[in-house]
A = this chain, B = another copy of it.
Amino acid sequence: MQICLKIHLLPAAKLSNNYGNFDKFFNNMKFKTPIPVSEISRMIEAEMLGNTQQMATGINEIHKVTPGDIAFVDVVKYFKKTINSAATIIILNEKTECPPGKTLLLVDEPFTAYNYLVRQFMPFEAMVNSVSHLADIHPDAIIEPGAIIGQHVSIGVGTIIQANAVICSHSIVGKNCIIQPGAVIGSDAFYFKKNKQIYHKWNSCGRVIIEDDVYIGANCTINRGVSGDTIIGAGSKIDCLVHIGHGVVIGKNCLIAAQTGISGKTTLEDNVVLYGQVGIAQNINIGAGAVISAKSGISKDLDGGKTYFGVPASEMSEKLRELAAVRQLPELLKKMK
């Protein structure tokens, strides 16, 4: 497979004219117009197995695919799981049996082919103006000097984008939001595929969606999703230097203090309170109304309505008992000797 050559034959701009960009929905990347699987196969110079006549309707990561989607797999032990997922079209690197109704696309490097397809349908667009004329900014929004607004950004009425903040392409900011100076909304997902010690960047095609009445502190960073969206729920308030990873979903009226970090694809339900310098691992669910004390580290799901503390965190009362016990420990050891 000669991906490099292909890029010259089928530039992104031309493809966009044929098929348009993605229509993005939360957790899903759909083509504006379905594309014949034979055309997809031709684009990545694949060998087609199974149903060669159907239409591809979108492209996604394996854990987010829906029928009509293209997915990829390059590790033999995951072949079965991927082929039997909701995905209709699977890019893979070894001949294998194709179940009825599916299409297999055989290439040398499935990840490269997947990444190539994503970029064809959602090309990287470098920012070229401080405020893009392709952004949809409500006339009653305020854009302060030095703020950069990317292509296809939408900014609602009454929102203030303060000095030197950066709103990257495709981000959506609702009504009456405040984005403090230097905050970066829509930086790339930190998501790499490791192959022989080398990290290969997974193209980010998700967006950041900031709902109404949200406050984002100075110099925060909110990464866009890989394929899904990063969402900050209505009424949530976030202090300075907070990091929100790719595909994180934050509920309504959450409060997040300074220097806290939330890893990729974690969910905060409504009314969660995170104190300062908290860290939350990826793929975690924090129940509604949970309160997490400062400097805690969370590595598993937490029930709502309770208060937690520690690294790793326990319920506050339990952790305080442990801390009290540890304070008595040196004396205890002395006595025992």
Contacts and interface: CB of A to CB of B under 8 A. Distances in A.
B221 A243 contact: no
Contact of A253 (B197, B240, B311): B197
Contacts of A144: 126-128, 148
A151 to B, nearest CB: 12
A36 interface: no
Contact of A130 (B145, B187, B217, B277): B145
A181 B168 CA distance: 9
- Secondary structure type dominating chain A contacts: loop
Contacts of A261: 241, 258-259, 276-277
Nearest to A242: B241
A181 B187 contact: yes
A198 to B, nearest CB: 6
Given A184-B180, A253-B199, A241 B239 contact: no
A255 B197 CA distance: 11
Interface string A128-145: 111000000000001011
A317 to B, nearest CB: 11
B215 A221 contact: no
A142 B166 contact: no
Contact of A184 (B129, B219, B299, B312): B219
Contacts of A218: 166, 184, 187, 221, 223
Interface string A215-232: 101111101000000000
A127 B281 contact: no
Contacts of A215: 190, 201
A325 B326 contact: yes
Interface string A170-193: 000000001011101001101010
A287 interface: no
Contacts of A150: 163
Interface residues of A, number: 75
A239 B245 CA distance: 9
A263 interface: yes
A162 interface: yes
Contacts of A276: 243, 261, 263, 279
B190 A239 contact: yes
A158 interface: no
Interface stretch (A2-10, A21-29, A65-73, A327-335): A327-335
A110 interface: no
A217 B197 contact: no
Contact of A259 (B166, B243, B294, B332): B243
A146 B164 CA distance: 8
A118 interface: no
A221 B201 CA distance: 21
A181 B148 contact: yes
12 contacts: A126-B144, A128-B145, A163-B166, A164-B184, A180-B187, A184-B219, A190-B239, A199-B235, A219-B241, A279-B294, A295-B311, A322-B326
Given A241-B241, A324-B330, A332-B336, 13 more contacts: A126-B144, A128-B144, A146-B164, A178-B201, A182-B182, A198-B235, A201-B237, A219-B221, A223-B240, A258-B263, A261-B277, A281-B294, A312-B323
